[in-house]
Amino acid sequence: MPTEHSPCGDLTIADLFQTHEAGLRRYAHSLAHDADRADDLVQETLIRALANLGLLQGLNAPQRRAWLYRVLKNRFLDEERAGQRQQALMQQLAEQALREEVPTAATVAHALLGQVPEQFREVLHRHHILGQTSEAIGRELGLPAATVRSRLYLARKWIRAHHTDLI
């Protein structure tokens, strides 16, 4: 930490750092439960102390200590409140998205299936909606499995050609 001398006397930021850094770090860690965040809180506290060196010069040692700990705690609480506001905003956005009519994959699939040419519709429905294999579809429709696979291929090709916005 740089040694910035106060114009108001002999108190320096280095003095504050040497005297209070370990205690501030322990306190910050007890609040944040995260070493990196604790380091950030201590650093921000000492930056504020640097900006208020004149004020701190006029305080006695216990008052300086109390001021530093209060600044650290206030910074921690400010971050917590900001995090809570951000969490509330994210929850509000998620709830709003759920309230809006967003088409589901099933809705889109059924709408698309209605636009596919008739000769492909049944095999697509059975394969992609009901999950049947080409062999099972062929048995039920009286078609060879190879014909079912061919129709599935042609149906997908038709969808790619006519609905590029969906894929």
**Residue ranges of domains in the chain, CATH in brackets:** 13-99 (1.10.1740), 105-166 (1.10.10.10)
DSSP, residue by residue, 80-149: HHHHHHHHHHHHHHHHHHHHS----HHHHHHHHHHHS-HHHHHHHIIIIIS---HHHHHHHHT--HHHHH
Gap between the Cα atoms of 53 and 58, Å rounded: 9
Per-residue b or e along 2-18, where b marks 16 or more CB atoms closer than 10 Å to that residue's CB: eeeebeeeebbbeebbe
More confident residue, 5 or 96: 96
Half-sphere exposure for 117 (CA within 13 Å, toward CB): 12
Rounded to the nearest integer, the mean pLDDT of the chain is: 83
Mean pLDDT of 126-140: 85
CB 108 within 8 Å of CB 114: no
Burial of 166 (0-12, 13-18, 19+ CB in 10 A): exposed
Q: Is the pTM of the predicted complex or chain greater than 0.85?
A: no
Residue 161 DSSP code: H
Q: What is the pLDDT of residue 2?
A: 40
CB 80 within 8 Å of CB 34: no
Q: What is the pLDDT of residue 55?
A: 94
Q: What is the pLDDT of residue 9?
A: 57
Predicted confidence (pLDDT) per residue in 34-56, tens digit: 999 999 999 999 999 999 999 99
Q: What is the pLDDT of residue 54?
A: 93
State which of 99-103, 112-116, 129-133 shows the largest mean pLDDT. Answer: 129-133
Token pair in block for residue 44: 């921000």
Nearest to 69 by CA among 46, 35, 36: 46
